């Protein structure tokens, strides 16, 4: 007795597209948004300008203020012309707010973001 079995499986690209896992898809946009949302509490804050003018793109967050890089590295500048020193800046709202804010947020809240993404795509992390 012989049997024929035919299995129709969507392509990998189609499967990824259905789940929103394509490049620039819903999952990427959600992940970027979650990172920005959680990082907001870590952004240096004297006024809300740096935090509120960040531009959320599909796969990155751009902090567009001219002083963003200066705050990211968190080192004082001195002299004429200004040069970076080895002295750390003092941040209002420290120790939560301060330099390398996205990296520090990920260390603190990365697992929360992974769980959020797990629910969003309907899967389970290993």
What are the pLDDT digits (tens) for 35-75? 999 999 999 998 899 999 999 999 999 999 999 999 999 99
Beta strands in the chain (DSSP E): 55-56, 61-62, 75-78, 83-88
> From CA 5, how far away is CA 90, in angstroms rounded?
69
- Which pLDDT value is given to residue 125? 59
The answer to whether position 85 is within a domain reads yes
Q: In 19-75, which residue ranges form alpha helices assigned H by DSSP?
A: 26-39, 49-52, 68-73
Mean pLDDT (the chain) is 93
pTM of this prediction? 0.83
Number of domains in the chain: 1
The answer to whether position 5 is within a domain reads no
Confidence of residue 21 (pLDDT cuts 50, 70, 90): confident
Domain containing 103: what range? 25-120
- Which pLDDT value is given to residue 17? 86
- Which pLDDT value is given to residue 86? 94
Both structure tokens of 3: 């049997």
């Amino acid at each position: 007795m012989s049997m024929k079995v035919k299995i129709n499986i969507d392509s990998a690209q189609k499967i990824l597209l259905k789940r929103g896992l394509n490049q620039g898809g819903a999952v990427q946009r959600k992940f970027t948004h979650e990172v920005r949302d959680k990082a907001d509490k870590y952004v240096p804050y004297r006024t809300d300008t740096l935090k509120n003018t960040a531009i959320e793109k599909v796969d990155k967050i751009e902090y567009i203020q001219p002083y963003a890089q200066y705050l990211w590295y968190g080192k004082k500048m001195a002299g004429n012309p200004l040069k970076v020193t080895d002295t750390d800046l003092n941040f209002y709202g420290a120790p939560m707010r301060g330099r390398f804010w996205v990296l520090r947020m990920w260390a603190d809240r990365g697992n929360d973001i992974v769980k959020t993404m797990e629910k969003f795509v309907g899967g389970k992390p290993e």
